[in-house]
Amino acid sequence: MTDFPHTPPRQSWTFSNDVNAEIRRAAATGIYDIRGGGSKRRLPHFDDLLFLGASISRYPLEGYREKCATDVWLGTRHAKTPIHLDIPVTIAGMSFGALSGPAKEALGRGATEAGTSTTTGDGGMTEEERGHSRTLVYQYLPSRYGMNPDDLRRADAIEIVVGQGAKPGGGGMLLGQKISDRVAAMRNLPKGIDQRSACRHPDWTGPDDLEIKILELREITDWEKPIYVKIGGARPYYDTALAVKAGADVVVLDGMQGGTAATQDVFIENVGMPILACIPQAVKALQDLGMHRAVQLIVSGGIRSGADVAKALALGADAVAIGTAALIALGDNDPALEAEYNKLGTTAGAYDDWHEGRDPAGITTQDPALYGRFDPVLGGRRLKNYLKVMTLEAQTIARACGKSHLHNLEPEDLCALTLEAAAMAGVPLAGTNWIPGRNGF
Amino acid sequence: MQVFDLEAQGLRALNATLHALTGQTNETAWEIVNPRGSHAIAVGVDAPVDITVRGSTGYYCAGMNKQATIRVKGSAGPGVAENMMSGTVIIDGDASQYAGATGRGGLLVIKGNASSRCGISMKGIDIVVHGNIGHMSAFMAQSGSLVVLGNAGEALGDSLYEARLFVRGPVKSLGADCIEKEMRPEHLLLLADLLKRGEADHLAKPEEFRRYGSARKLYTFNIDNAAAY
């Protein structure tokens, strides 16, 4: 019998091992996959943009000699007391409940030492973060857990959350494992239940109502506090325009790489747009309304480095917010904990079951034995270091582009490595003056 | 009695004046005239004062109230007494959508009817409605009591947590996870107190009501309840 060559086993691209594993998991458990974090897809991102740097036509500034300012004012449109930050990198909203008390304290410590703000989340304001945050933004969410006028007044700004990048149009769920006595008391819920967060605000719908809601919050706080409106990256042109129309001082725009404490994986990976595609649309809305820089724009979703900060600002943002990167700076997903991640069936860098409350780093847990491992002073120092490095990196790039302030960066300083990034960011493909979609082609 | 003409003096001056009041104030009685349906009237008050609004109000009247007693001698727009912390708010007429939304304490009395989503996401507030309430009332209601002397619309108490609902008239339909429950003696006592405080004890007796609450089947996710989510 002749032994003919055989066709080697061939895996399906459509039904890959990962896809098949998820089908088997769903069939065995009867529940969709819930996880934390943001999109893990390869998406068009800031990596696909490059700065051109100075040349004969532009003078660079001398590194470490000539000043490149980094400060930012937020809330100058209507608030009696706008916020002034030393650096344009803020800490995004993350709840006590999703995060441990010591982790919230560390975020406050690090942000304050670096001269920036931190933000509450869907669980009310804790003493840890108010006490350790010089500038604290208080989120006003559909669930209104812990909402009260005293905390509104002791906040430095109010952020009305309409949506977030990981799940535009979606609510949240904090699984029972993390509803400890303290979390349950703050949210006025029975201990240990799966807590659902609504996807819509209970007492307003649409932009006309939002305008009245903003009026109410301004009246309660005597027009002192800047009012931000946070939107998920879905229809950034129209959502930004409507937020401005409703009276927002600041628009916070979160792309699909932005993290969440817990949501369906199918939601995270299939709803919303990458932040790169969102920023130019939001900036255009502000420009069309004559409000660019008058209403400030904070962008988030996958900001990792000073280069990302500089690129976001060059596209027209006033500041950025970081969440996932801040947690990594605190110690989340650290390879030093690899053995413990292995026990949870995962590996450092991939751990995203934050909702289960078993985080060995003590950050995304309410287990006293686990969060007791986390040192908020050390965590705060690490975050401060990271924020300072990001700022220095952004300054380095800005000086190379001849800018004396990070806000002087502009789209003309950028080119794109891919057609997709060129079209989304509205900057030329590298080596050409072609911006796909502009001038009719 | 301090009289404040809202049309002449403006909303900002009104709320700034009311916010300046403290527990020691001697100016404990206020009358607001010419409200003309304005939004955000008497929001964020935090003093044991008595405020009467002579006319109907727009959105969010008495929002986040603490301590004050606020009476509206007319009807109230959407979100009256939203997120109230304590005190009492009494509406002589009807209330629009979201009355008492997310309220954490105090008492809201509506002597007319309340529209849809009355008591949505309530977190400890007590609400007494002399008339009927609209659809989706007490959606995701967490705690506190909602008393309705009239009828309730569709999907009462959908996705309810631990709030107690008492309705005297017919309920068009119950929402997901909301069921009728036994009225025990302690509930009759509670209801009698609520009717008295809600200025309704001359209109109805506790025995005339039925009690509704959470079946608690949605407290932990289960794929076999998917149709209810």
Residues from chain B that touch A355, judged by Cβ atoms under 8 A, are: none
Query: Does the beta-carbon distance from B159 to A190 stay under 8 Å?
Result: no
Whether A125 and A118 have beta carbons less than 8 Å apart is answered as no
Chain A hits for B63, Cβ within 8 Å: 216, 220
Asked if pLDDT for residue B227 goes beyond 70, the answer is no
Task: Name A283's bridge partners.
Answer: none
Confidence of residue A72 (pLDDT cuts 50, 70, 90): very high
Query: Which amino acid, one-letter code, is at A436?
Result: P
Task: Please give the mean pLDDT across all residues of chain A.
Answer: 94
Question: What is the number of H-type helices and E-type strands within chain A?
Answer: 15, 16
**Beta carbon pairs, A and B, within 8 Å:** 103
Query: Quick check: is A181 in a domain?
Result: yes
- Dig out the tokens for A11 from the structure: 């895996």
**Structural domain boundaries enclosing A373:** 45-425
Q: Which is nearest to B97 in space by CA: B137, B38, B124, B147?
A: B137
> What is the tens place of the pLDDT at every residue in A383-418?
999 999 999 999 999 999 999 999 999 999 999 999
Say if A393 falls within a structural domain. Answer: yes
For the segment B131-175, what is each residue's pLDDT rounded down to a tens digit?
A: 999 999 999 999 999 999 999 999 999 999 999 999 999 999 999
* Distance from C-alpha of A324 to C-alpha of A209, rounded to nearest angstrom: 32
Locate A63 and state its tokens: 């590194």
For residue B118, being part of any structural domain is answered with: yes
The CATH number that applies at residue A66 is 3.20.20.70
At A306-317, the pLDDT tens digits run 999 999 999 999
Total domains in chain B come to 1
User: In this structure, what CATH number is given to the domain that contains residue B175?
Assistant: 2.160.20.60
Tell me the CA distances in angstroms from A84 to A73, A76, B204, one per residue in order. 5, 10, 57
Average predicted confidence (pLDDT) for chain B? 96
CA–CA distance, B140 with B155 (Å, rounded to integer):
11
* Chain B contacts to A (CB-CB under 8 A): 11-12, 15-16, 19, 39-40, 43-44, 46, 58-60, 63-64, 66, 78-79, 82-83, 85, 97-98, 101-102, 104, 117, 120-121, 123-124, 139-140, 142-143, 159, 161-162, 219-221, 223-224
Say whether A144 and B121 touch across the interface (CB within 8 A): yes
Distance CA A312, CA A297 (A): 10
Mean pLDDT within A344-355: 94
Range of the domain at B204: 2-217
Å between A152 CA and nearest CA of chain B = 10
Which pLDDT belongs to residue B91?
98
* pLDDT per position as a tens digit, B175-216: 999 999 999 999 999 999 999 999 999 999 999 999 999 999
At B22, the pLDDT band (50, 70, 90 cuts) reads: confident
Is B89 part of a structural domain of the chain?
yes
A116 assigned to some structural domain: yes
| Residues A252 and A321 sit within 8 Å (Cβ to Cβ) | yes
A131 φ/ψ angles, rounded to the nearest 5 degrees: -65, -30
The whole-angstrom separation of Cα A169 and Cα A263 is 12
Chain A positions touching B58 (Cβ under 8 A) are 212
Question: What is residue A62's DSSP assignment?
Answer: P
Residue B153, φ and ψ in degrees, nearest 5: -80, -165
pLDDT single digits (tens) A39-48:
999 999 999 9
Closest chain B CA to residue A222:
B16
pLDDT of res. B226: 65
Backbone angles phi, psi at A382, to 5 degrees: -60, -40
| A203 chain-B contacts, CB cut-off 8 A | 60, 78-79, 82, 97-98, 101-102, 120
B131, two tokens: 């008339």
Residue A188 and residue B12: Cβ atoms within 8 Å? no
Q: Which residue of B has its CA nearest to A173?
A: B221
Q: How confident is the model at residue B125 (pLDDT cuts 50, 70, 90)?
A: very high
Is B191 part of a structural domain of the chain?
A: yes
The residue with tokens 């509704």 is B212
Q: What is the pLDDT of residue B229?
A: 60
Q: Which residues of A120-155 are buried (b: 16+ CB within 10 A; e: fewer)?
A: bbbbbbbebbbebbebbbbbbbbbbbbbbbebbbeb
Contact (Cβ atoms closer than 8 angstroms) between residue A174 and residue A97: yes
Is B102–A188 a contact, with Cβ atoms under 8 angstroms apart? no
Instruction: Give the count of beta carbons closer than 10 Å to the beta carbon of residue B217.
Output: 13
User: Does residue B223 fall inside a structural domain?
Assistant: no
CA angle (A318, A142, B36) in 5-degree steps: 95
CA distance A390 to A90: 11
Domain total in chain A: 1
Residue B119 covered by a domain: yes
Axis crossing angle, helix A206-220 with helix A236-246, rounded to the nearest 10: 40
Cα angle vertex A271, ends A46, A192, to 5°?
110
Give the side-chain half-sphere CA count within 13 A for B60. Answer: 26
Closest to A149 (Cβ–Cβ): which among B39, B44, B142? B44
| Residue A74 counted as domain residue | yes
Rounded CA separation A81/A60 (Å): 35
Chain B residues touching A202 at Cβ < 8 A: 98, 101-102, 117, 120-121, 139-140
pLDDT at A439 over 80: no
Q: Do B60 and A212 touch (CB under 8 A)?
A: yes
Provide the pLDDT for residue B224: 72
The verdict on residue B96 lying in a domain is yes
Model pLDDT, residue A233: 97
Inter-helix orientation angle A206-220/B11-19, to 10°: 40
